[in-house]
Amino acid sequence: MGRQAPLMVEDSSIQGLKVVTLPVHRDDRGWFKENWQREKMVAAGLPDFRPVQNNVSFNARQGTTRGLHAEPWDKYISVLSGTIFGAWVDLRPGQGFGKLFTAEVGVGQAVFVPRGVANAFQTLAANTVYSYLVTEHWTESARLKYSYVNLADPQLQIPWPISLDEAIISQADKEHPLLAQAKPVQPKKILVLGGNGQLGRAFAQLGQVDKRIILHTRAQSDLQSPDFAESLDLSNCSHVVNAAAMTAVDRAETPSGCTEAWQVNAVAVRALARRCAELEVSLVHVSTDYVFDGVQSEVDEQHPISPLGIYGQSKAAGEQAVLAHANNYVVRTSWVIGQGVNFVSTMCQLVEQGIAPRVVDDQVGRLTFASELARGIMHLIDTGSAPGIYHLQGGGAPASWYQIACEVFALRGYDPNAVQPVSTREYALGQPQLAPRPANSTLDTTKLLATGFVPKPFFDSLDQYLSQVRVP
């Protein structure tokens, strides 16, 4: 018995298409192989592929040729008997469109074919058995989402071992369009909840270029509705970004606000996480610095949560519900500034009204501009960064709310000395429903930086924001 090849996963010339070498155990009785073994193969470099259907094609004659078909799901192909010549063509929009990869596949190989890559094979032996696992159940309506390419396309010049004139091909496969007329397979959608919020509006800006992004406002997906998660159509989504939340920190301390905070930030999030897990859709959940007590000057993702108020407690519960499922992300942020009512817009209104505001000088953190937050989330998605918790804030040295208010006054051409510094204790006098705030809201972003995303310094972003965005 000869030495068997080790399990190995190798990249091909088509992005995401991977060739797998399978160990085959042989003796005088025949052979045995682990055709699909999720734990070992993911560790070797395959995506965390979770098939729901296994199809087998028996091909009685040598030269049987099928394809090229691009279905709207991932596929893992292997040979159970015989040998094939496989051909794959990238039909996803972009620079890789039309790229060809070919390989001979026997019982000791398998190929992972990502969604949007057309697949074809030609049998090199009689009685060839071809198997493929897929990530979605086949339905008649799914056929409408297929894309096709002609096996004899002159632009591709696929080097079929057996001439197509002599091959066995169905009439339907002979009539597939040429590459120039092939329909590109569009990527799955990224659904953003909370479309009317500051982060949602930033995603709307990105969506003008990135057509994967679709938005739901509260009118379309209301987290206060008991069945909102079940009503979501996620059939063509790769990710859901939950940018919706009850963020009225002070109102959360009231009886009605407390109920709303727990429903939106915890109960609904648990239902959403469960729904996404059932459909194998990744959930990106936006959380907050309020899950910490603010005692430490800077905290990383491993720091124990210890929320001070109801808002922070409800968000912490939502985090745990999200993290209970694999492939999900929690992105903690703070002091978000975008289109809408926020601290900066409020300061601008006061300065133009000639009002000298009292601003706390003992709460320290960093502004996070919604555009940067959206950009960072898309970076995590597009780079395939490992699921888990990430801290995402604007870059630069931390500052107090008072320092930021002074900077807003200065950038708007007013005297920053008009801003009056006060302590949190002084500011809270006479306001019985004022929620507790963390004194330190500085988040350690080392883990995010390691993925290649570098947030812009928030004071630079503030300058740009005030110069380009009309603030009332």
Per residue in 305-362, pLDDT tens?
Answer: 999 999 999 999 999 999 999 899 999 999 999 998 999 999 998 988 889 999 999 9
Task: Provide the pLDDT for residue 1.
Answer: 46
Averaged pLDDT, 87-93: 96
CATH topology of domain 8-181: Jelly Rolls (2.60.120)
| Closest to 59 in 3D by CA, of 13, 116, 121, 1 | 121
| Burial of residue 461 (number of CB atoms within 10 Å: 0-12, 13-18, 19+) | buried
Predicted confidence band at 470 (pLDDT cuts at 50, 70, 90)? low
Task: Provide the pLDDT for residue 235.
Answer: 84
Inter-CA distances, 188 with 92, 115, 212, 236, 269, Å: 11, 9, 7, 5, 22
- pLDDT tens for each residue of 204-242: 999 999 999 999 999 999 999 988 999 999 988 999 999
Q: Which residues are catalytic?
A: 69, 132
* DSSP one-letter string for 167-206: SB--HHHHTPPPGGGPPP-PPPEEEEE-TTSHHHHHHHHH
Domain ranges of the chain: 8-181, 189-468
Averaged pLDDT, 401-411: 95
| Closest to 332 in 3D by CA, of 366, 286, 378, 290 | 286
pLDDT higher than 80, residue 471 = no
- pLDDT tens for each residue of 110-148: 999 999 999 999 999 999 999 999 998 888 777 777 899
Task: Provide the pLDDT for residue 3.
Answer: 62
Rounded-to-10 torsion of CA 427, 431, 434, 439: 20
Q: Is 303 helix (H, G, I), strand (E, B) or coil?
A: coil
**What pTM, to 2 d.p., does this model score?**
0.85
State the DSSP code for 312. Answer: H
Predicted confidence band at 108 (pLDDT cuts at 50, 70, 90)? very high
Measured between alpha carbons, how far is 365 from 294 in angstroms, rounded to an integer?
A: 10
Averaged pLDDT, 32-41: 95
Task: Provide the pLDDT for residue 214.
Answer: 96
| Closest to 238 in 3D by CA, of 78, 381, 82 | 381
pLDDT higher than 60, residue 472 = no
pLDDT higher than 80, residue 266 = yes
pLDDT higher than 90, residue 397 = yes
pLDDT higher than 60, residue 244 = yes
Q: CATH for 189-468, among 2.40.240.10, 1.10.20.10, 3.40.50.720, 3.40.1280.10?
A: 3.40.50.720
| Burial of residue 180 (number of CB atoms within 10 Å: 0-12, 13-18, 19+) | exposed
For helices 401-411 and 458-468, give the axis angle rounded to 10 degrees.
40
* Domains 8-181 and 189-468 agree in fold: no
Query: Residue 100, preceding bond cis, omega within 30 degrees?
Result: no
Task: Provide the pLDDT for residue 467.
Answer: 84
Alpha-carbon Rg of the chain, whole angstroms? Answer: 28
Task: Provide the pLDDT for residue 376.
Answer: 97
- pLDDT tens for each residue of 154-198: 999 999 999 999 999 999 999 999 999 999 999 999 999 999 999
Q: What mean pLDDT, rounded, does the chain reach?
A: 94
